[in-house]
Amino acid sequence: MRALPKTLALLLCVNSYYVLGADVQSETTPQLANTYINDAILPPMEPWHGDSESLLMAADDEWATPFERDGLKTSPSYVETFAWLDKLIAQTDKLKKVSLGKSPQGRDIWMIIASDNGAKTPESLAANNKPTVMVQAGIHAGEIDGKDAGMMLLRDIVLGNKGALLEQANLLFVPIFSVDGHERSSQFNRVNQRGPVDMGWRTTANNLNLNRDYAKADTLEMQHMLIAINQWQPDLYIDVHVTDGIDYQYDVTFGYNLAQGLSPASFRWLDKQYRPFVEASLQSQGHQPGPLVFAMDNRDMSKGLSLWNASPRFSNGYGDARHLPTILIENHSLKPFKQRVLGTYVMLEATLKLVGEQATTLKSAIKQDSYRYSERLTLTWQSEQQKAGWDFKGIDYTLEDSVISGEQVVRWSGKPKLYKNLPVIGNTLADIKVNRPSTYYIPPQWTEVIGRLELHGIRMTRLEQSKSISLSQYQFSAPQFARQDYEGRQRVTAEVSSKVVTTQLPAGTVKIDTRQPLGDLAILLLEPQSPDSLFQWGFFNPIFTRTEYIEHYAVEPMAAKMLAEDPSLQAEFDKALQDTAFASDAQARLRWFYERSPYYDRAYLAYPVLRN
């Protein structure tokens, strides 16, 4: 059959979102536009080829992954993914498959264990004394590059020439984290992203974002993941995403929390050992790596770039808090799926090589951070301009007046442009700090809070009998509740003061010593001024409800008796009356006496978590 003229082939692509004929498989023909249904509304794309294309297996090979078999533009369904992986696992004793637990819709969240000794339990994996890398794909199920890259890499470890990777390191691979979101698949899900053809949904079946859930751990999926982290104890955690936002030349960007965070030794290892090695590996295979890139203003690159110090609701911020070196990969959404998958493969392979070679220095950094026990911890950060700017490999653009929106819109040209020495603004200026408490005490009735802390792996003991003790307790005023729900929670902030109280702790009260490897995480979860504290996530909202009252007919005689018996109280009341607003507010005057009476609810606006 005579080949179609290229112009006709391209025309047909617009309707079918496939490149026809030899353009699908050829290693010499540049990848063309109009591959995906949304190409017509996305910025122009430069053709890409790199040495990493040699990693691809022919589509008709028995061991081609579904991605390779179907034109490098699709990603398999949940059932197809694990049918292929089960077939691979059956070929070797180096791969095992375990379920981390079931999703709300009843799907298993599978994890593949890859090790030289065929480990299938945390104990047998630890017994081989090798460092362990944990890789999860599909926390946002449409951002699925890591799944297809990991399938290829496992295939090449078992059947190809990459078996040596397991001689010095173990791999834990979760192909699909958000399994229910993965199956809410459509070609219309991620309009800003070039493939795969059908993409999963960003959130879970409960419409919750897993990469906002590490601290509060509301989702069943996240609870399974935290248990897995505690059981399998990885030494490096990789979370694979695809980013949105501006256009730029980098195809694989990645980052981790900063030197100012809670794991400075891990930061130094990641920045001085990991990044140079991985970036060199990517560049050698034809990819353009870069740091995590976020613009301060997507329509004005001259305003600079954002440097991100994440809080524990995010994977990288959570890793920083629990001293688990964590890498956030953000592949560039405007690069083709094929390019992103191959870049991820190269990065994962390089990671296993380096972790195997640098196991001692990596474990040493983790240990330094885990037993650092800083006397002062920063809870919140303010933004500041960094001392050094960045040379940014961007894409040129123009601004046009839009008749649709009535404002200016960016038109990316697709042409590379180097932006020299752009300013960098990061949340690196310490704001609210607290002294490290030696101990927290949580009354036993706060079962949900205690359960979440146990889920995170924080060590705790319980008082076997009641105990009278003087402790510090936070008092709240002027609570501010969020005006709308966020991630299934009504968030709250409040003004905070502290006083020493003598209290009787009941038997069963939980005691948490902060001098433990997860002590810093406990502090960020329990200090109410921490943005990802369980307090701000609404776990303690019942303390804002008043449940006992006193009638006005009872306050009046009680107040008169109080004033008659206590001249100093009379003087205090007279001073309060100098405030005209107070003096003219009958409710406020009566409440003033109620709050000073023995009838007042002392638990109202008092934080039930006490600190020593």
Catalytic residues, by residue number, are 330
Find, among 359, 374, 342, the residue nearest to 131 by Cα. 359
Rounded Cα distance, 146 and 136, in Å: 7
DSSP calls for 568-599: HHHHHHHHHTTSHHHHT-HHHHHHHHHHTSTT
- Cβ(163)–Cβ(171) under 8 Å? no
* Long-range Cβ pairs for the range 183-190 (8 Å, 24+): 183/77, 183/78, 183/105, 183/107, 184/141, 185/77, 185/141, 187/17, 187/36, 187/37, 188/37, 189/142, 190/142, 190/143, 190/242, 190/333
Coil, helix or strand at residue 228: helix
What tokens appear for 579 in the block? 């405030």
Side-chain half-sphere CA neighbours of 157 within 13 A: 30
Coil, helix or strand at residue 398: strand
What counts of helices (H) and strands (E) characterise the chain?
Answer: 18, 21
Q: How many residues does the chain have?
A: 612
What tokens appear for 482 in the block? 């969020």
Rounded Cα distance, 493 and 317, in Å: 20
Exposure pattern of 416-430 as b/e (b: 16+ CB <10 Å)?
eeebeebebbbbbee
DSSP calls for 433-484: EEEPPSEEEE-TT-HHHHHHHHHTT---EE-SS-EEEEEEEEEEEEEEE-SS
State the amino acid at position 313 in one-letter form. R
